[in-house]
Every structure is written in C-alpha cells, then in structure tokens.
Amino acid sequence: MELVVDIGNSDVVFGLFTQEEPRLVFRTPSQRDLPASEYEKRIRAWFLENALSYSDISGIIISSVVPNLTPVMEEVVERLFSVQPLLAGPAIYKGLSLKIKNPYEIGSDLVANATAAFTYHQSAAIVVDFGTALSFTVVSAKGEILGVNIAPGIKTAMKSLFQETAQLPIIPLEYPTTFIGRDTVQAIQAGILVGYVGLVKEVINKIKEQEPGESFKVIATGGLSLVLEPLKEVFDQTDPHLTLKGLHLMYQKQF
Ligand SMILES: Nc1ncnc2c1ncn2[C@@H]1O[C@H](COP(=O)(O)OP(=O)(O)O)[C@@H](O)[C@H]1O
Ligand SMILES: CC(C)(COP(=O)(O)O)[C@@H](O)C(=O)NCCC(=O)O
Ligand SMILES: [K+]
C-alpha cells in the first residue's frame, strides 16, 4: 500500500492507495510552526482509528508547496514507516514535458494535477484547483505543461477582505440567491462568489482563445471546487482527489 502526502498551504492531505482511487483520505491543517511530533501524533491517531498497520506502507511520495514543512514531514514518515519517501520534483516528472521557464518554480501539486488529467484523458486539459490559491494548469494534447495561472483562492480573498477592513466579517462561502446584497453577508457573497464565477470563466476563455488548436477538457479539484455551483456546466469533471491521484501516478511511473 502506498502513502501519498500532499502538503498544501491550508491542509496536509494524506491518501492511502492500493488502486486508482484512494482507499482512505485524511486531512489536517498545515501549520508551519508545528513540530514533527505533532504531525506524528495525528498520523498515529488516523492509523489507530482505521486499524491500519505501519508495516503495510511499502512506498511513500510527498509533494510540498510549503518548504518549511517538507523536512518535517520527511522526518515523520521515515520514523513511522521506515520507508524513504520520494519527493515530488523535476527529477521525477515523467511523461509530461514542461514548457515553462523553470521546472523548479512550478508547484509539484500542479504537476500532479496535470499528470492525473493527462493520464486519464489523454487530451489537452485545463485543471482548475480551488485551494489556498486558485490555479489553472494548462496541458496540451501532446502532454506538455504550457503554463499556469494563479489568483487568490476564494477563501483567501474573503479572509484578506476581512483582514484589510474594519467592518467586514468572515462569511459562509455559499453561492448567493440574490445578486444585490441587502445586508453585508449577502453583499460579500454576491461580490466574491459571483465575481469568482466570472474570473474562472474569463481565464478559461482567454486560455482557449490563445490556444485555438487545442480541445481542452476542463477539470476541477481542490477543497473549494464545489462552492461555485454555476461552474458545474463549465467543468467536464470535478475530482476532489485529483492531486493525490496524480501523485500516486507519479510514484508508480518511477518503477
Ligand atoms: N470538503 C470541503 N468543503 C469545504 N471546504 C473544504 C473542504 N475540503 C477542504 N476545504 C477547505 O478548502 C480550502 C482549500 O483546501 P485545499 O484545496 O486542501 O487547499 P491547499 O491545497 O491550499 O491546502 C481550505 O480552507 C480547506 O479547509
Ligand atoms: C500555486 C500554489 C500556491 C498552489 O498551492 P495551494 O493553493 O494548493 O496551497 C503552489 O502550487 C505554489 O506555491 N506554486 C509555486 C508557483 C508556481 O506554481 O508557479
Ligand atoms: K493543493
């Protein structure tokens, strides 16, 4: 059984794989200042709750877009499982070519998204990841990563509005039923959620305009991928575990 670890800016997500779909997934906040012992405690609790045994883990891959947490998590999994983890990075990006300036700059989570999209669909793809950042990873029909677009994630935009103003509250991320806010919560929901639907559509349209020869599948993933209901019709597929699955594929492609 393989353990896949996706260290994002909001959460660390762990997935256990024996086949294409993860058997179990565990999500825990990615706090940059926590010691290894705290993450070890959380993984131990997860294994205990699910009656899993450490010796069942035969391989591990870690993707991290939070450099401080990379050595912490490497230390934890080596100690718990006595397995040397593979670290997702340019040395193991197999099967995709990167048409970007610097392969070390792109987030390994985004390469994992592209790997899964291209492996499953064998077509050009735009992967929209609704994480701490909102990202668009563009893959050609030849399996080249053409580039990435990055905007603040939905929750990140909402939190920064709260932090930068005296009177605006944190609001539930629910798509509004009215587009003219009659109280502050409605006003922010209408501004952010309706605005983000437009942002996503416009970025996808511009990507398509720039690459008229490609026929893109549009795939959504990330913790907030279901929040913008009107985008359902824009996405060919929504897969909350796409990044984990891409990392698992990346692991398998090494052997
Ligand atoms: N099922 C869910 N429903 C609502 N929010 C979620 C869900 N899963 C994750 N989230 C939230 O979505 C946000 C983005 O999560 P994620 O995509 O894991 O971000 P990152 O990869 O940047 O850590 C986080 O604030 C997370 O708590
Ligand atoms: C774009 C990201 C911030 C997304 O991270 P996430 O929202 O999943 O935490 C991350 O992939 C990253 O730090 N990338 C490096 C910059 C780049 O991909 O060009
Ligand atoms: K992510």
What is the per-residue pLDDT across 187-220, written as a single tens digit (0 to 9) for each?
Answer: 999 999 999 999 999 999 999 999 999 999 999 9
Strand partners for 144: 97
170 pLDDT above the threshold of 90? yes
Question: What pLDDT, on the 0 to 100 scale, is given for residue 76?
Answer: 98
Amino acid at 8: G
| CA-angle at 120, arms to 246 and 15, nearest 5° | 30
Average pLDDT, the chain: 98
CA 54, CA 44: separation in Å to the nearest integer? 9
Whether the CB of 108 sits within 6 Å of ligand 2: no
Q: How far is the C-alpha of 220 from the C-alpha of 205, rounded, in Å? A: 15
Q: Which of 12, 65, 108, 224 to mutate to test the pocket of ligand 2 (most atoms within 8 A of CB)?
A: 65
Question: Is 107 labelled a binding residue?
Answer: yes
- Provide the percentage of residues in the chain whose pLDDT is more than 70: 100
ipTM: 0.98
In whole angstroms, what is the distance from residue 174 CA to residue 221 CA?
18
User: In ligand 1, which atom is closest to the CA atom of 109?
Assistant: 21
- Cβ distance 42 to 49 under 8 Å? no
What is the pLDDT at residue 229? 96
* Tokens (6 digits) for 251: 């692991």
- pLDDT of 95 > 90? The answer is no
Count CA atoms closer than 13 A to 192's CA, side-chain side.
25
- Specify whether the CB–CB gap between 162 and 185 falls below 8 A: no
**CB 219, CB 128: distance < 8 Å:** yes
Contacts of 255 (CB under 8 A, 6+ apart): none
pLDDT of residue 195: 98
Residue 91, pLDDT score: 97
Rounding to the nearest 10 degrees, give the CA dihedral for residues 98, 112, 132, 172.
Answer: 130
Q: What pLDDT is attached to residue 251?
A: 98
Distance in Å, CA 221 to ligand 1 centroid: 10
Residue with more model confidence, 95 or 174:
174
Distance CA 222, CA 254 (A): 25
Q: Is the CB of 110 under 6 A from ligand 2?
A: yes
CA gap 87, 89 in Å, rounded: 6
Q: What is the pLDDT of residue 46?
A: 98
